[in-house]
Amino acid sequence: MTAEIEAPERAGFGELRIGDLGVRIARSPAEIDAVQALRFRVFYEEMGATPNPVTLAIGRDRDAFDAVADHLVVVDHAIGPGPEGVVGTYRLIPREAAQRVGHFYTAEEYDITPVLRFPGRVLELGRSCVDAAHRNGVVMQLLWRGITAYVFRHRIDLMFGCASLPGIDPSAVAEELTYLHEQHLAPPQLRPRALPHRYVPMRRLDPATVNTRRVLANLPPLIKGYLRLGGFVGEGAVIDAQFNTIDVAVVVKTDLITQRYFRYYGRGLREPAD
């Protein structure tokens, strides 16, 4: 029988359900393995990321941050209540967990000094993906419910991470990058900046020529979700050739999450962490 792990105790909330679907923190090494297998299918087999020999051999997207993170999972109980039912995931890394690795994942692409200087509790979000057969919006809604519960439990003040646009040609997403830079650039005191050797300018067009309606239709749902919560982007994009994406840094203060979601499913989740 697979041993239980510590993450659920740290998370401090049980499973939240919509019908057969439930969101919670992964409870066992087997569930984390299922998360890594899901990420491999989505990132490498579907989106065209380039695996190294080890990743290809094991069929898992795995790195050093997985051992310290809390892995939010959506489980489809119609398939099964454990690893076999994992259909969505989000990786959550609090500051103290990142310190065990030595840095946040985002720091490999961005200077996040402003985030590190932030006086409140910070949380890095990343590695979000949903199984192709479950992309009907409900799984993503549940993932955000889980993030909200986690934010309340740990009194998180600031969330950040990298969000991706498809492909590695900035000219193909010039309108989207320009729009994000002109309309949603983070204030200086919160603004990550792409590392100099990876910096890709985001202001690629005359802002007056940008069709906002078209941009909002084309932006990935994850980025639009951050923007709806009042999120900002950092300065400069980054080409991630391995994952076949163009990344932007995203910063979200949790005030709006608190205001918008507390009356729906935040009650009872504000107790201090153990």
User: For residue 121, how far is the Cα from the chain centroid?
Assistant: 17
Q: Which two tokens stand for residue 174?
A: 């010039």
- Rounding to the nearest 10 degrees, give the CA dihedral for residues 129, 134, 138, 140: 0
Please state, in angstroms and rounded to a whole number, the distance separating the CA atoms of residues 22 and 11: 15
| Partner residues linked to 240 by β-bridges | 245
The answer to whether position 2 is within a domain reads: no
Instruction: Please indicate, yes or no, if residue 213 is contained in any of the structural domains.
Output: yes
Q: Is residue 273 included in any domain, yes or no?
A: no
Strands 122-130 and 158-166: parallel
**Mean predicted confidence (pLDDT) in 164-185:** 98
Question: Is position 268 within any domain?
Answer: no
pTM above 0.85, yes or no: yes
Residue 81 lies in a domain: yes
Distances 12 to 32, 71, 186 between C-alpha atoms, Å: 18, 13, 31
**pLDDT value at position 127?**
97
Higher pLDDT, 109 or 229: 109
pLDDT of 213 higher than 70? yes
Residues 87-112 have a mean pLDDT of 97
Residues 6+ away with beta carbon under 8 Å from 207: 178, 179, 182
Q: Give me the pLDDT at residue 262, please.
A: 55
Give the integer Cα–Cα distance in Å for 88 and 20.
13
Q: What is the 3-state secondary structure (H, E, C) of 63-86?
A: CHHHHCCEEEEEEECCCCCCHHHE
Candidates 116, 28, 25, 117; CA nearest to 72 is 25
Say what the pLDDT of residue 274 is. 35
Judged by DSSP in three states, 87 sits in strand
Is residue 117 domain-resident? yes
pLDDT at 11 over 60: no
Segments forming the whole domain that contains residue 232: 7-260
Q: Is residue 55 part of a domain?
A: yes
Judge whether 161 and 106 are in contact, CB under 8 Å: yes
Q: Quick check: 265 pLDDT over 80? A: no
CATH value at residue 68: 3.40.630.30
pLDDT at 52 over 90: yes
Mean pLDDT, range 175-183, rounded to an integer: 98
In a domain, 229, yes or no: yes
The rounded mean pLDDT for the chain is 90
Number of domains in the chain: 1
In this prediction, residue 6 carries a pLDDT of: 38
How confident is the model at residue 14, as a pLDDT?
87
Give me the mean pLDDT over the 60-81 stretch. 98
Q: What is the pLDDT of residue 103?
A: 97
CA neighbor of 66 nearest in space, from 146, 135, 3, 124? 124
